[in-house]
Structure 1
Amino acid sequence: MTLRLGWPTPLGARLGADGVNFALVAPNATAVELCIFDTTGQHEQQRLKLPACTDGVWHGRLPNAQAGLVYGYRVYGPWAPAEGHRYNPAKLVLDPYAREIVGQYDGSDIHWGHDPAQPDRPDPRDNGSVALKARVALPLAPVTPTRPRVDAGHRVIYELHVRGQTKQHPGVPAELQGTYAGLAEPAVLDHLQSLGITTLSLMPVQHRADEQRLLKMGLLNYWGYSTIGWFAPEVRYWSGRPGTTPATEFRAMADAIHVRGMELVIDVVYNHSAETDELGPTLSMRGIDNALYYHLRRDDRALYENWTGCGNCLDFSQPRVVQLCMDSLRHWATELGVDGFRFDLAPVLARGPNGEFDPRAPFLAAARQDPVLADALWIAEPWDIGPGGYRVGEFPPGWLEWNDRFRDTQRAFWLQGGVSRGEFAQRFTASANQFDHDGRAPTASVNFVVAHDGFTLRDLVSYNERHNEANGEQGRDGSSQNHSNNCGVEGETGDEEVLAARGRLQRALLASLLLSQGTPMMLAGSELGHTQQGNNNAYCQDGPLTWLDWQRADDGLTDFVRRVLALRREAEPLRHADWWPGLPADGSPALRWHTPEGRDLSPEDWQRGDTPSLAILFEAPAPASQWLVLVNAGASPVDFNLPPGTWTLQLASDNPQDTPRALAAGANLPPSSLWIART
Structure 2
Amino acid sequence: MFETAAGEPYPLGATPDEDGTNFAVSVGQDAEKVVLCLIDDQGEETCLELTEHSGNTWHVHVAGVGHGQMYGYRVHGPWDPAAGLRFNAAKILIDPYAKAITGDFNWGQHQFSYDFENNDEIDTTDSLGHTMLGIVIDDSFDWGEDERPGIPFNETVIYETHVKGMTQLHPDVPEEQRGTYAGLAHPKVIEHLTRLGVTAVELMPVHQFTNDSYLQDKGLSNYWGYNTLGYFAPQNTYSSGGDHGQQVAEFKQMVKDLHAAGLEVILDVVYNHTSEGNHMGPTLSFRGLDNKSYYHLVEGDERHYMDYTGTGNSLNLSNPMVLQMVMDSLRYWVEEMHVDGFRFDLATTLTRTEGEQGPDMMSGFFQVVRQDPVLRQVKLIAEPWDVGWAGYQVGNFPGLWSEWNGKYRDSVRDFWRGEPGTLAEFATRITGSADLYEDDNRTPRASVNFVTAHDGFTLRDLVSYNEKHNEANGEDNNDGESHNRSWNCGEEGPTEDPAVNRLRSQQQRNFLTTLMMSQGVPMICHGDELGRTQRGNNNVYCQDNELSWVHWDEADEDLIDFTSSVIRMRRDHPVFRRRQFFDGRPMSRENPDELPDIVWLEPDATPKDETDWESYHARSIAAFLNGHRLPPSTRPDGQDTDHDFYVLFNAYWEPVEYTLPGEPFPGSWELVVDTAQASTDVATFSAGDKVTVPNRGIVILQSADR
TM-score class, shorter-chain normalisation, is over 0.9
Cα deviation digits, residues 434-484 of structure 1 (max 9, x gap): 111332110110000000000000000111111101111111000000011
TM superposition shift of 1:658: 4.6
1:586-665 correspondence to structure 2 within 5 Å: 587=594, 590-621=597-628, 625-644=643-662, 645-664=667-686, 665=689
The one of 21, 31, 34 aligned to 1:32: 34
1:196-345 correspondence to structure 2 within 5 Å: 196-240=197-241, 245-345=246-346
Question: One-letter code of the match for 2:351?
Answer: A
List gaps (5 residues or longer) in structure 2: 630-640
CA distance in 1, matches of 2:77, 2:685: 78
Matched pairs, number = 677
Question: One-letter code of the match for 1:51?
Answer: T
CA distance in 2, matches of 1:382, 1:604: 32
Question: One-letter code of the match for 2:655?
Answer: P
How has the CA–CA distance of structure 1 residues 142 and 7 changed in structure 2, closer, same or farther, with 3 Å as cutoff? Answer: farther
Is 662-671 or 156-165 further displaced after alignment? 662-671
TM superposition shift of 1:109: 2.6
TM superposition shift of 1:175: 1.3
Question: One-letter code of the match for 1:618?
Answer: L
CA distance in 1, matches of 2:523, 2:40: 46
How has the CA–CA distance of structure 1 residues 249 and 666 changed in structure 2, closer, same or farther, with 3 Å as cutoff? Answer: same
Q: Identity over aligned residues, as a percent?
A: 43
**1:89 lines up with 2:89 in the alignment:** yes
How has the CA–CA distance of structure 1 residues 130 and 624 changed in structure 2, closer, same or farther, with 3 Å as cutoff? Answer: closer
Partner residue of 2:693?
669
Question: One-letter code of the match for 2:695?
Answer: P
Is 576-585 or 454-463 further displaced after alignment? 576-585
* 2:600 counterpart SS class: strand
* 1:628 counterpart SS class: strand
How has the CA–CA distance of structure 1 residues 620 and 21 changed in structure 2, closer, same or farther, with 3 Å as cutoff? Answer: closer
TM superposition shift of 1:77: 0.9
- Are the aligned partners of 2:109 and 2:125 in contact in 1 as well (CA < 8 Å)? no
- Are the aligned partners of 1:409 and 1:419 in contact in 2 as well (CA < 8 Å)? no
Is 199-208 or 603-612 further displaced after alignment? 603-612
How has the CA–CA distance of structure 1 residues 193 and 620 changed in structure 2, closer, same or farther, with 3 Å as cutoff? Answer: closer
CA distance in 1, matches of 2:208, 2:236: 7
* 2:4 counterpart SS class: coil
Is 451-460 or 562-571 further displaced after alignment? 562-571
CA distance in 1, matches of 2:349, 2:140: 31
Question: One-letter code of the match for 2:650?
Answer: N
Question: One-letter code of the match for 1:125?
Answer: T
Partner residue of 1:139?
139
CA distance in 1, matches of 2:85, 2:585: 61
**1:678 lines up with 2:696 in the alignment:** no
CA distance in 2, matches of 1:630, 1:502: 19
CA distance in 2, matches of 1:624, 1:444: 23
Partner residue of 2:638?
none
* 1:459 counterpart SS class: helix
TM superposition shift of 1:27: 3.0
User: CA-atom RMSD, angstroms?
Assistant: 1.6
Is 418-427 or 533-542 further displaced after alignment? 418-427
CA distance in 1, matches of 2:102, 2:420: 54
CA distance in 1, matches of 2:497, 2:9: 68
Partner residue of 1:17?
18
Is 465-474 or 365-374 further displaced after alignment? 365-374
CA distance in 2, matches of 1:203, 1:612: 36
Partner residue of 1:74?
74
Question: One-letter code of the match for 2:195?
Answer: S
1:44-63 correspondence to structure 2 within 5 Å: 44=45, 46-63=46-63
CA distance in 1, matches of 2:154, 2:527: 23
- Are the aligned partners of 1:107 and 1:210 in contact in 2 as well (CA < 8 Å)? no
TM-score normalised according to structure 2 size: 0.94
- Are the aligned partners of 1:421 and 1:605 in contact in 2 as well (CA < 8 Å)? no
Partner residue of 2:100?
100
Is 331-340 or 509-518 further displaced after alignment? 331-340
- Are the aligned partners of 1:39 and 1:68 in contact in 2 as well (CA < 8 Å)? no
- Are the aligned partners of 1:80 and 1:86 in contact in 2 as well (CA < 8 Å)? yes
Question: One-letter code of the match for 1:674?
Answer: I
Partner residue of 1:178?
179
The one of 377, 380, 395 aligned to 1:378: 380
- Are the aligned partners of 1:417 and 1:610 in contact in 2 as well (CA < 8 Å)? no
CA distance in 2, matches of 1:518, 1:621: 19
* 1:629 counterpart SS class: strand
CA distance in 1, matches of 2:417, 2:44: 59
CA distance in 2, matches of 1:242, 1:49: 27
* 2:326 counterpart SS class: helix
CA distance in 1, matches of 2:700, 2:255: 36
CA distance in 2, matches of 1:624, 1:331: 41
Question: One-letter code of the match for 1:473?
Answer: E
* 1:200 counterpart SS class: strand
Partner residue of 1:551?
553
- Are the aligned partners of 2:113 and 2:123 in contact in 1 as well (CA < 8 Å)? yes
CA distance in 2, matches of 1:407, 1:657: 26
TM superposition shift of 1:146: 2.6
Partner residue of 2:543?
541
TM superposition shift of 1:60: 1.3
Partner residue of 1:562?
564
CA distance in 2, matches of 1:663, 1:346: 48
List gaps (5 residues or longer) in structure 1: none
CA distance in 1, matches of 2:142, 2:387: 38
- Are the aligned partners of 1:34 and 1:71 in contact in 2 as well (CA < 8 Å)? yes
TM superposition shift of 1:620: 4.3
CA distance in 2, matches of 1:531, 1:55: 54
CA distance in 2, matches of 1:140, 1:66: 13
- Are the aligned partners of 1:140 and 1:335 in contact in 2 as well (CA < 8 Å)? no
Question: One-letter code of the match for 2:694?
Answer: P
